[in-house]
């Protein structure tokens, strides 16, 4: 990002301060690199990051680990069509099952199976360990401050 910033400064000095470009470029690159690494961590569990997100959302919801596809779609910011494909794959793998929705007989709810719960519990621990290893490059106080700053930045981006 430093080199990119230097190139823009040379070619377009009129742009002024390039800190926003450098900052968001780094955030984007961190997200992309970590996304690839986490994807590899989840492979031994037979799931993708996208599938992990569904399993993790169900797991975090608490017992009985059961949500409607709409609740999952809203939480994961997906279309219902995209969610259906993920649920189909997870059901085929035996990690979720679709249960009748007691509140609305016209719909189903996705529920973690015991195998799904075991898979997501192992995968979340493996992913968190990778994240801890990377974050260990920062002093604990710096990591906490970075988390606080990113929370503020995320709130500003949602505005």
Look at residue 79 in the predicted model and tell me its pLDDT: 82
% of the chain with per-residue pLDDT over 70: 99
Give the pLDDT band (50/70/90) at residue 103: confident
Decide: helix, strand or coil at residue 94: coil
Helix (H) or strand (E) segment spanning residue 20: helix 19-42
For residue 99, give the DSSP letter. Answer: E
For residue 106, give the DSSP letter. Answer: T
Report the chain's mean pLDDT, rounded to a whole number.
Answer: 93
The answer on pLDDT for 131 being more than 80 is: yes
Do residues 109 and 99 make contact, with C-beta atoms less than 8 angstroms apart?
Answer: yes
Bridge partners of residue 112, in order along the sequence? 96
Fold of 47-158: Arc Repressor Mutant, subunit A (1.10.10)
């Amino acid at each position: 990002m430093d080199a990119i910033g230097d190139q823009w400064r040379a070619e377009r000095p009129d742009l002024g301060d390039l800190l926003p470009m450098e900052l968001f470029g780094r955030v984007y690159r961190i997200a992309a690199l970590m996304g690839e690494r986490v994807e590899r961590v989840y492979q031994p569990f037979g799931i993708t990051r996208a599938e992990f997100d569904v399993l993790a959302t169900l797991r975090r919801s608490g017992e009985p680990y059961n949500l409607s596809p709409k609740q999952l779609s809203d939480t994961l910011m997906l279309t219902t069509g995209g969610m259906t494909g993920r649920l189909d794959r997870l059901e085929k793998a035996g990690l979720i099952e679709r249960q009748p929705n007691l509140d609305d007989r016209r719909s189903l709810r996705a529920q973690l199976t015991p195998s799904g719960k075991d898979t997501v519990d192992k995968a979340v621990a493996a992913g968190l360990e990778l994240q801890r290893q990377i974050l260990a490059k920062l002093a604990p106080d710096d990591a906490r401050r970075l988390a606080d700053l990113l929370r503020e930045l995320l709130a500003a981006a949602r505005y």
